Amino acid sequence: MIQSVITGTGHYIPKKIIKNEYFLDYEFYNKKGIKINESNDKIIKKFKDITDIEERRYVEKNILNSDIATIAAKKALINSKIYKEKIDYIISAHNYGNINPISFQSDFVPSISAKVKNKLNIKNKKCRPYDMIFGCTGWIEGMILADQLLRSKNAKNILIIGSETLSNVIDPYDRNSMIFSDGAGAVVLSAIENFREKFGIIHYDSQCSNNDEIYYLSNGPSLNSNYTKSLVNIKMNGRRIYEYALKMVPNMLKTIIDESKLHIKDIKKIIIHQANAKMDYAIINRLFNLYKISLNNNIKKIMPMTIHKLGNSSVATVPTLLDLILREKMLPHKINPGDNILMAALGAGMNINGIIYRFPKKNFIYKNHEKKYTSK
């Protein structure tokens, strides 16, 4: 039985810290294009109360999405001890490609995954680069696709990256722009044959509501009609997204858990897309309520959060958080051998998805990984 197992992880967090005070001198407009007649102190306080965000990270102007994706990918490859020429697919999740720092146009040609392959200097012509454009759910969907490729014996090692430079596509006149940030996370997923126990990716699901919900998160012109620097500005209907998330995500996650023949008590950590703290807490509380369990003050023990310091970096949030925990940079949060974790996301579309992953025993994974996949 082939199982898809994480053999390496990596991430990149930009060094440029943007605190909430950075926005004190901004001018914010409402959806009607009228300047908001309220102090920025109050606007920022309301924003923090809802999102928990105190600061976020931005890349420097000369750094592109494909650059930070490559950094995270290199770290994952080193951590995996897998030779880069043994990678069969590179799946790169993002939404905007490389953003030209002058024209602010999206660049998808060639694809981000192809650019990462080039920057990694992978010569293997059978290493196929795929881009996953699936909203903030893109990295998890990349993991789902990778699992299918590995189980079908079409690959042995797949590099899955989530990276975004949202600081280049935000409207400076939109209060919602304060939520977004930059970053990258990556995982190497490998096929391992094992008949003794079930681990790795256990189960998953994706659901896509692309009808009336399709424009809850999209692109549009600035709220300030005089701003013409960029016509590609990320826009979201926060209330609609919140309502959709609370209605759809908890039920989907419960279905994934139930179909895995597990109980919510079997899940040790929930790594959810760092979209909005209030929304994330509400989703997980509703999930536990479906099992008639009240979390009270224990929610932070099972659901580690980075949004307060890193903001919402879209597809990068889940793999970044996973790598931080595995590298013990999120203590007291730890993942132990045999732990079941639930990874979940909500993104533009609206698309939602989730994965249950079981970490294997250390001895087993070390013996098989070193024997089968070490390049030297």
- Would you list the DSSP string of 116-165? HHHHTT---TT-EEEEE-BTBTHHHHHHHHHHHHHHTTS-SEEEEEEEEE
141-157 average pLDDT score: 95
65, 94 Cβ separation under 8 angstroms: yes
When computed from its CA atoms, the radius of gyration of the chain, rounded to whole angstroms, is 20
31, 163 Cβ separation under 8 angstroms: no
Mean pLDDT of the chain: 91
> Of the CATH numbers 3.40.50.920, 3.40.47.10, 3.10.450.50, 3.60.15.10, which one belongs to the domain with range 1-376?
3.40.47.10
> Residue 238's pLDDT is what?
87
> Residue 51's pLDDT is what?
93
Please measure the distance between the N-terminal and C-terminal CA atoms of the chain and give it in whole angstroms. Answer: 26
Would you call 209 helix, strand, or coil by DSSP?
A: coil
141-148 average pLDDT score: 97
Distance CA 72, CA 7 (A): 14
Place 104 in a pLDDT band, splitting at 50, 70 and 90: confident
> Residue 1's pLDDT is what?
81
Distance CA 224, CA 241 (A): 23
Distance CA 145, CA 130 (A): 10
Weakest-pLDDT range from 5-14, 185-194, 362-371? 362-371
As given in the structure block, the two tokens for residue 180 are 């977004």
Confidence check: pLDDT of 260 > 60: yes
Prior bond to 343 cis, omega within 30?
Answer: no
129-138 average pLDDT score: 96
CA 111 to chain centre: 19
Place 177 in a pLDDT band, splitting at 50, 70 and 90: very high
Closest-CA residue to 319 (of 352, 284, 343)? 343
Helices (H), 138-276: 138-151, 238-259
Please write the tens of the pLDDT for every residue from 327-355.
999 999 999 999 999 999 999 989 999 99
Confidence check: pLDDT of 363 > 60: no
Place 195 in a pLDDT band, splitting at 50, 70 and 90: low
Higher-pLDDT residue of 341, 363? 341
Q: What is the pTM of this model?
A: 0.92
Higher-pLDDT residue of 250, 370? 250
Confidence check: pLDDT of 154 > 90: no
Q: DSSP string covering 60-127, please?
A: -TT--HHHHHHHHHHHHHHHHTB-GGG--EEEEE-SSBEEPTTT--EE-SS-HHHHHHHHTT---TT-
Please write the tens of the pLDDT for every residue from 2-23.
889 999 999 999 999 999 999 9
> Residue 362's pLDDT is what?
65
Neighbours of 188 (CB within 10 A): 26
> Residue 371's pLDDT is what?
32
Confidence check: pLDDT of 233 > 50: yes
252-267 average pLDDT score: 96
Confidence check: pLDDT of 113 > 90: yes
For the chain, domain boundaries: 1-376
Confidence check: pLDDT of 374 > 70: no
Share of the chain above pLDDT 70, in %: 96
Confidence check: pLDDT of 359 > 60: yes
